[in-house]
Amino acid sequence: VKLNARLTAEKFDIGGIFTDKNRPTTVKTRIIAQNQQVVRADREKTGDISDNLVKEIIDYIKKNFSEVSAVIISDYGKGVINAELLDYLISTCNEKEIFIAVDPKETHFFDYQRVSTITPNHQEAGFVVGKKIKDDATLVDVGWQLLDRLKAKSLLITLGEKGMALFENGPKGSTKRSLTRIPAMALKVYDVTGAGDTVVATLTIAVAAGASLKEAAIIANIAAGEVVAQVGTAQVSMEKLKKLVLERL
């Protein structure tokens, strides 16, 4: 309620924010020591949301889909994302040829079928396949396994200080596939908070603006490198990102 009031006062559209009197807004408390996050405590409820609220969310999306250039599903495993919502979003995006990206949680991993791209970190990717990513060979094995099982167009695995790996299927009907390694851009790492969100958001915006997936992944990598070099939840402005891209490419 307080958040909605503040956003309304700042003249933001809050039509896409849904309230549930039985669920508090998640509050995250981070303990920082010597500019490094040590532990985080979350106060929240993570059970599945009600069927009525799922319907309310889907109805809102239906009314606004005509204005959408791309879709991001950022699944925190907090009970909002379920099979019904995923099925509607993915099928509608594929039908309308809208780019859809997923920042996943292990809980629903194999429900993200036929998305445009999915952006797990190396721990998540290895966990769902049952194989730890420890070298190039296991990375390649896990990456192609996931892409095949998800029937996705692409897969971007983030590898921390080792950068990213972009796995891509060719056009429909083609057997051509490609793997692109993208080196890390972070000059220093203080706090990884928000790195995954930065990757999927920057990647999707870049694709929606006309970048190829490889170009978008490189830009996302630069943005994430800037975020982890700051303490706390950080953002990269458009002006700063433009400057970084020109400096590093």
Q: Which domains does the chain have, with CATH numbers?
A: 46-248 (3.40.1190.20)
Residue 61 φ then ψ, to 5°: -65, -45
Mean pLDDT for the chain?
90
Sign of CA dihedral 196, 89, 170, 151: positive
Q: Which listed residue (75, 103, 191, 197) is catalytic?
A: 197
How far is residue 151's CA from residue 204's CA, in Å, rounded to a whole number?
19
Q: What is the structure's pLDDT at 234?
A: 79
Residue 101 bridge partners (DSSP) = 72, 117
Per-residue model confidence (pLDDT) at position 149: 96
Contact 84, 56 (CB under 8 A): no
Residue 172 reports pLDDT greater than 90: no
Q: What is the pLDDT of residues 127-144, one digit of tens each?
A: 999 999 999 999 999 999
User: How do residues 147-165 score in pLDDT, each as one tens digit?
Assistant: 999 999 999 999 988 899 9
**Cα 133 to Cα 102, 237, 246, distances in angstroms:** 20, 33, 32
Q: Where are the alpha helices (DSSP H) in the chain?
A: 2-9, 51-64, 83-96, 122-129, 136-150, 195-208, 213-227, 238-248
Q: What is the pLDDT of residue 1?
A: 77
Q: Is 197 one of the annotated active-site residues of the chain?
A: yes
pLDDT digit string, tens, across residues 32-75 = 888 777 899 999 998 999 999 999 999 999 999 999 999 999 99
Query: Model-level pTM?
Result: 0.87
**Per DSSP, what are the bridge partners of residue 200?**
none
